[in-house]
A and B are shown apart, each in its own frame.
Chain A
Amino acid sequence: MAGISLAAIGVGLVVIGASYGIGKIGGSAMDAVARQPEAASKIQTAMIISCALIEGVALFGVVVSLLVA
């Protein structure tokens, strides 16, 4: 039981970190698109790549927690 609750706390921490990162990327991408609407598609691609990289790290945490729990 202790393992499961610790794993749940770990997942929570991972989610905080990942959502902070993805939120920051999303906000900056919005700013960038507002300044240069013609570069929207390029910004979007870069945004999705960096979101995917952050999400990858977050999912490492989720998988490790699943294995521990």
Chain B
Amino acid sequence: MTEPDPCETCEELLQPYLDRELSPDEHVAAERHLDGCEFCKRRYRFEVSLRRYIRVSASERMPDGLRAKLAELREVAGS
């Protein structure tokens, strides 16, 4: 059997690593590889910025007036 390519393994571990869902052994394995691999390190950092950017880009402020409409629902419900 051939050893899996460490970078492929890291690609698999990227999401659970950032979500802090790895087992302690997997975490150590990922950190050890990341320490020595610029390729994966760049991609991990990229993923962190990407997630933040997605959250910011996809967040739309509540339209003016909606809060007041919701508060009115409360008064109707209370009658």
Does chain A bind chain B?
no
Q: Could you list which residues of chain A lie within 8 angstroms of chain B, going by C-beta atoms? A: none
Q: Could you list which residues of chain B lie within 8 angstroms of chain A, going by C-beta atoms? A: none
